[in-house]
């Protein structure tokens, strides 16, 4: 390991800079957070999954996580910003409700997620990276994923006080594991940061927000949206279940891809840990979270299905963006990454 002057990931406290706006909505939010007045904007008619609306939402949500450099932490509860956030959320949520087929059969939904498609006809980012992706494409994938994984488990933690009894205990069991089971050096966010450093990427929180497109921000914004609204707690659990139920085989494919690309031990460790961890989490989420939640609050079934399908829908959009760009020989990011360290 090379010596570094940067504080390691667990010691980082600096908040990221506000990103450059990508349109009128994100410009209004960024300008307001810089201290200017909140210019009246109308999100109705904006592209619901587009860069502008998703970046605007991302900035609103980040006030609840680490905030931004130079922005007073109290802006988290600024009624004007919250008011605009609500309008942005309405557009996003309405689009998802329209694009996602409703359903109420959670066991059938779970069974479908537990069938693993295999063979040469399966199109997916992890399949591509396992079989033939380049190291550059793998680095891009990690940059996309950093928006979530550097705060891994945080968006779902909002759901804890919104659940009761066994479902709460089950969710905390999984979250505790995500946070390293009391050992900071095992926190999944840290394992991800160590992988980034090894791949020559910056592990600074928010370092790649400028690079990633709306498709990537939308996936993480869905997590924050569902976590921050008690009315969407069923969807939050559904989103969490989708990740935990599908991550183990995907992580195994990434481990194989990384071995093929001769990545270092920290890179392999992150996904290797998730093969085993998520094989357990799948069981705990099904038996310890979904089952008791639906027994206590059966009326949440439709929201759980919505959370599962909305996160699948956004995941497929993001996957298509990456694979489409790579098919055309282009970067999947808004700007290329700086070259990795040798």
C-alpha closest to that of 56 among 176, 275, 241, 225: 225
Query: Taking the complex as a whole, how short is the minimal distance between the CB of residue 197 and other proteins, in angstroms?
Result: 25
Q: Tally Cβ neighbours within 10 Å of residue 263.
A: 21
Q: How far apart are CA 11 and CA 9, in angstroms?
A: 5
Minimum Å gap between C-beta 111 and other proteins is 9
Our CB check for other proteins shows the closer of 72 and 276 to be 276
> Is-contact 150 193, C-beta < 8 A?
yes
What's the angle, vertex CA 188, arms to CA 193 and CA 73, rounded to 5? 75
Q: Which is nearer to other proteins, 95 or 275 (CB)?
A: 275
Of 170 and 307, which CB lies nearer to other proteins in the complex structure? 170
**Both structure tokens of 327:** 């098919």
Burial of 190 (0-12, 13-18, 19+ CB in 10 A): buried
Q: By C-beta, is 34 or 287 nearer to other proteins?
A: 287
Residue 28 beta carbon to other proteins: minimum distance, rounded to whole angstroms: 44
**What whole-number distance in Å separates Cα of residue 143 and Cα of residue 125?**
14
- Written as six digits, the tokens of 296 are 């206590």
Q: Supply the minimum distance, in Å, between the C-beta of residue 285 and other proteins.
A: 11
**Tokens 């195994």 appear where?**
252
Tokens for 85, please give them: 């956030």
* Residue placing its CB nearer to other proteins in the complex, 51 or 252: 252
Minimum CB–partner distance for residue 108 and other proteins (Å): 14
Give least dist CB 248 to other proteins, A.
Answer: 4
Residues that bind other proteins (CB under 8 A): 114-122, 173, 176-177, 181, 248-249, 252, 275-280, 282-284, 287
Dihedral of alpha carbons 86, 305, 55, 94, sign:
negative
Nearer to other proteins, 19 or 315 (CB): 315
Q: Closer to other proteins at the Cβ: 185 or 299?
A: 185
Tell me how far apart the alpha carbons of residues 246 and 239 are, in angstroms, rounded to a whole number. 11
CB of 280 to other proteins, least distance (A): 5
Non-local CB neighbours of 273 within 8 Å, separated by 6+ positions: 188, 191
């Amino acid at each position: 390991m090379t010596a570094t002057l940067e504080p390691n990931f667990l010691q980082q406290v600096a908040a990221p800079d506000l990103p450059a706006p990508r349109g009128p909505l994100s410009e209004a939010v960024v300008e307001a957070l810089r201290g200017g007045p909140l210019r009246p904007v109308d999100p109705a008619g904006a592209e619901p999954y587009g860069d502008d609306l998703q970046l605007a939402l991302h900035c609103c949500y980040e006030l609840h996580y680490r905030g931004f450099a130079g922005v007073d932490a109290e802006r988290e509860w600024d009624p004007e910003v919250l008011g605009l956030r609500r309008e942005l959320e309405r557009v996003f949520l309405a689009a998802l409700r329209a694009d996602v087929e409703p359903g109420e059969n959670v066991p059938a939904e779970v069974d479908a997620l537990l069938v693993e498609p295999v063979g040469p006809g399966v199109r997916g980012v992890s399949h591509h990276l396992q079989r033939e992706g380049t190291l550059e494409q793998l680095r891009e994938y990690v940059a996309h994923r950093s928006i979530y994984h550097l705060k891994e488990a945080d968006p779902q933690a909002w759901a804890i006080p919104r659940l009761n009894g066994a479902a709460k205990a089950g969710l905390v069991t999984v979250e505790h594991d995500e946070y390293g089971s009391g050992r900071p050096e095992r926190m999944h966010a840290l394992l991800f940061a160590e992988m980034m450093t090894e791949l020559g990427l910056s592990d600074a929180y928010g370092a790649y927000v400028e690079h990633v497109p709306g498709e990537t921000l939308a996936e993480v914004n869905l997590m924050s949206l569902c976590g921050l609204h008690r009315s969407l707690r069923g969807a939050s659990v559904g989103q969490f279940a989708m990740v935990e139920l599908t991550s183990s085989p995907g992580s195994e494919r990434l481990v194989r891809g990384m071995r093929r690309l001769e990545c270092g031990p920290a890179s392999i460790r992150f996904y290797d840990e998730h093969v085993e961890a998520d094989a357990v989490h799948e069981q705990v989420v099904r038996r310890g979270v979904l089952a008791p939640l639906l027994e206590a609050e059966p009326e949440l079934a439709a929201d759980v299905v919505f959370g599962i399908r909305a996160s699948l829908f956004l995941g497929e959009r993001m996957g298509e963006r990456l694979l489409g760009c790579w098919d055309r020989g282009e970067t999947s990011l808004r700007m290329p990454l700086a070259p990795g360290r040798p």
